[in-house]
Structure 1
Amino acid sequence: MPENDTTTPTTPMVRVEDLHRSYGSGENAVHALRGVSFDLPRGELIALRGRSGSGKTTLLNLVGGLDTPGSGRVLVDDTDLSALDENGLLALRRERVGFVFQTFGLVPILSAAENIEVPLRLRKVSRAEREERVSMLLSLVGLGDHANQRPGELSGGQRQRVSIARALANRPSLLIADEPTGQLDADTGLAVMELLRAVVRSEHVTALVATHDTQLLALADRVLHLADGVTSWQDDTVPAA
């Protein structure tokens, strides 16, 4: 770097510092996380790898502001979550973080388009803007011809695509996905993971995707392992300092 270059490196999208989370107390306490620390670079798809029950969901909930740690801290887009009250956390989750779950979480009586539109209505976005954004997202996830179909009329893979589109509705900077392919067959799961990778590129978001499916790891930019309450980067995917 030139001597007169005063620029600073881009801050990570997520910074986790010495994170601890336990359930229960005393001899019966379960230590889900034991001093976890890592940075997530911006604009990348990061796979969180771990066996079932390893604490992946606990970690995702802490990063997304759905839970609070016993100690340590999480910064999302340079915002310290521990400094936010409940209203601040709600605003963060609504405006800056998108969630995709294994169980889809769609409203059965609403159409695909209406499900995607829900976060925009909560933010009181104008009707014209809502319609434009929903149309674009349906096209992005390959469901432009299924806007009026309800979840029960869609396949599992299509329902997950709707949930991804809904998670992107408010243009989040961070997308968190908890085993998004867990209820899908291998081919459909691969297609959904490829979609997430394409979304990261087109929407310029950072995605943290929990999975224990080794076939899907090759699609990630980096792989973060979680075992025995601690994390480590796969050797060839360590973020640059």
Structure 2
Amino acid sequence: MSESSTRSATAVAGEPAGPPPMVRVENLRRSYGTGDAAVHALRGVSFDIARGELVALKGRSGSGKTTLLNLVGGLDTADGGRVLIDGTDLAGLGEDALLELRRDRIGFVFQSFGLLPILSAAENVGVPLRLRRAAPGERDERVALLLALVGLADHADQRPGELSGGQQQRVAIARALANRPALLIADEPTGQLDAETGLAVMELFRAVVRSEGCTALVATHDTQLLGLADRVLELSDGEITEH
């Protein structure tokens, strides 16, 4: 077991009473395939993320970062171990409860942006609020606030094809924040951006964590971006080490 895993296990056994960490991962294991061909993506991964923390996850391509993010976000099921979000064990939730958790408590940002091309920036940001059936006035107010937060108040009516890559990623971040998630998960959010734009997006994550009061787990391989995180976790050979 890695040093960080040992610290986490010790904390679980003897920590004082109080609010749980926003994310707790305990002895998480995930493999693909069987027998000699099996790929062991995660080998007993354990760590905590405190509330309000921006944690960067680094590791070479194919190291299992996306697998780990999918498990933390309730998009995949582990072979062993468990994930707790704000004290809730994901393994104990049915499909409907998981869907509700992802909709209301977790925001996702992906490398490919994932915006709907026929909708304007404002309409894309408003999609999660429509799914929650928020009142039109509440929806419009939240969308306007978020577009201002990411610096796109003047681009509300533009469609994704009319925006730069950095602007599209800012729209995606705003959309992820629409339902005021407690946890923001981002998988290589700067992977399609140039260095300068990528740095600006990572700085935006830093600002968002502070202004929205959420927690963020961001996978990135960019060394420059790692310096903006409160803490860096490295995934190597299916295990986590902390920097």
Residue among 94, 114, 120 paired with 2:103: 94
Amino acid at match of 2:130: R
Amino acid at match of 1:63: V
Residue among 224, 237, 243 paired with 1:215: 224
Q: Secondary structure at the match of 1:75?
A: strand
Aligned 1:104-119 pairs, distance under 5 A: 104-119=113-128
Q: Secondary structure at the match of 1:132?
A: helix
Distance 1:90 1:141 in 2: 27
2:163 matched to which residue of 1?
154
The answer to whether 1:35 aligns with 2:44 is: yes
Structure 1 residue 11 displacement after superposition? 1.4
Structure 1 residue 8 displacement after superposition? 2.7
Structure 1 residue 26 displacement after superposition? 0.8
Q: How many residues align?
A: 228
If the length of structure 1 is used for normalisation, what is the TM-score? 0.94
Aligned 1:160-175 pairs, distance under 5 A: 160-175=169-184
2:205 matched to which residue of 1?
196
Structure 1 residue 44 displacement after superposition? 1.1
Deviations 1:166-188 (A, max 9, x none): 00000000000000000000000
Distance 1:22 1:158 in 2: 36
1:140 matched to which residue of 2?
149
Amino acid at match of 1:181: T
The answer to whether 1:124 aligns with 2:133 is: yes
The answer to whether 1:227 aligns with 2:210 is: no
The answer to whether 1:85 aligns with 2:97 is: no
Amino acid at match of 2:141: E
Gapped regions of structure 2 (runs ≥ 5): 1-15
If the length of structure 2 is used for normalisation, what is the TM-score? 0.93
The answer to whether 1:76 aligns with 2:66 is: no
1:176 matched to which residue of 2?
185
Aligned 1:12-27 pairs, distance under 5 A: 12-27=21-36
Distance 1:66 1:77 in 2: 17
Gapped regions of structure 1 (runs ≥ 5): 1-6, 235-241
List structure 1 segments (4+ residues) > 6 angstroms apart after TM superposition: none
1:57 matched to which residue of 2?
66
Q: Secondary structure at the match of 1:219?
A: coil
Distance 1:11 1:79 in 2: 9
Q: Secondary structure at the match of 2:19?
A: coil
Deviations 1:102-137 (A, max 9, x none): 000000000000000000000000000000000000
Distance 1:56 1:88 in 2: 25
